[in-house]
Amino acid sequence: MEFTRRGALAVGAGAVAASVLPSFAFASVDDAVAAFTGGAELGEGGLTLTTPEIAENGNTVPVSVDAPGAEAVMLLAAGNPSPDVCTFNFGPMAGAQSASTRIRLAGTQDVVAIAKMSDGSFVRASNEVKVTIGGCGG
Amino acid sequence: MAKGVRPRVKVPGSASAGDVITIKTLISHPMESGQRKDSDGNVIPRSIINRFVCDFNGENVIDVTMEPAISTNPYFEFQAMVPEGGEFKFTWYDDDGSVYEEAKSISVG
């Protein structure tokens, strides 16, 4: 394949379009949070979200949450094509309200955790994760 | 149905009554997100495990709702209370309706 100036410009334009796309996701983060909390106020504290500062591979990013006294914890990835990641619902036999998993991140973005406490209040925590290689195929 | 799905679960063999133990689970599954395209540019349809449940003697420990953003070969680590000996039951629910099950017993010494 020959490299032409026109070809190079087309590739460049494509890259710009791809980098703009994730911003569409932001509105749906608010929707997902509202669906989970029912519009309740979000507090701070009592929820620990552990993420790596830099993830070399966006396909498997280790994440853990710890929220003593929580009933459920929802994870969201603000910059993914679809922000929902997972929801942990803790049952009566849960030894601690903490869990770890591995998630996909499309690029550098904020990972958000929302915990529903047993008294009905909600708390929020978020961390930025820098992703070297995105994990959504693209 | 996804091929070669094999659950692997790590539970301690024994514990003291009232202990909190750590459970690790991993299930081999491609978790096709529905975002990827094949070499012809066609979208590969979504095929994931959408729910994971762990029960101890019929009582719920954790119930996870999963979305396509969970990595290939979904891995979970969590804590469970062991008031008496019994059996942990692990269940994964696939998009295509398949259900994968695994059980591990624990004795209290």
pLDDT digits (tens, 9 = 90+) for A4-59: 666 666 666 555 555 544 444 456 888 889 889 988 889 888 899 999 999 999 99
pLDDT at B58 over 90: yes
Nearest by CB: B60 against A87, A92, A138: A92
Contact B69, B34 (CB under 8 A): no
Residues B64, A86: C-beta atoms closer than 8 Å:
yes
Cβ(B103)–Cβ(B88) under 8 Å?
A: yes
Provide the shortest C-alpha distance from residue B52 to chain A (in Å): 9
Residue B92 lies in a domain: yes
User: pLDDT per residue over B95-105, tens digit each?
Assistant: 999 999 999 99
pLDDT score at B109 = 78
Q: Is residue B44 part of a domain?
A: no
> By the CB < 8 Å criterion, does A93 face chain B?
yes
CATH number of the domain encompassing residue B10? 2.60.40.10
Rg over CA atoms, chain B: 16
Q: Which run of H or of E encompasses A13?
A: helix A5-20
How confident is the model over A71-111, as pLDDT tens digits?
999 999 999 989 999 999 999 999 999 999 999 999 999 99
Instruction: Tally Cβ neighbours within 10 Å of residue B45.
Output: 9
pTM for the model: 0.83
Number of domains in chain B: 1
> Residue B60: its chain A contacts at CB < 8 A?
89, 91-93
- Work out the mean pLDDT of chain B and round it to a whole number: 92
The predicted pLDDT at position A40 comes to 86
Distance from CA of A84 to the nearest CA of B (A): 6
Please report whether residue B14 resides in a domain. yes
In a domain, B45, yes or no: no
ipTM of the assembly? 0.90
- The yes-or-no verdict on residue A65 having pLDDT over 90 is yes
Is residue B88 exposed (0-12), middle (13-18) or buried (19+ Cβ within 10 Å)?
Answer: buried
E strand residue ranges, chain A: 42-43, 48-50, 54-57, 61-66, 70-77, 84-90, 94-103, 109-117, 122-133
Residue B56 in any domain: the answer is no
Cα–Cα distance measured from residue A59 to residue B38, given in angstroms and rounded to the nearest whole number = 17
What residue type is assigned to position B61 of the chain? V
What is the span of the domain harbouring residue B67? 6-38+63-108
Cβ-based contacts of B82 with chain A (< 8 Å)? 95
Whether residue B30 lies inside any domain: the answer is yes
Residue A96 and residue A70: Cα distance in Å, rounded? 9
CA angle B109, B53, B102 (to 5 degrees): 60
CATH architecture of the region A5-131: Sandwich (2.60)
The number of C-beta contacts closer than 8 angstroms across A and B is 107
- pLDDT, residue B4, reads 80
Contacts of A80 in chain B (CB under 8 A): 69
**Contact check, Cβ <8 Å, A93/B21:** no
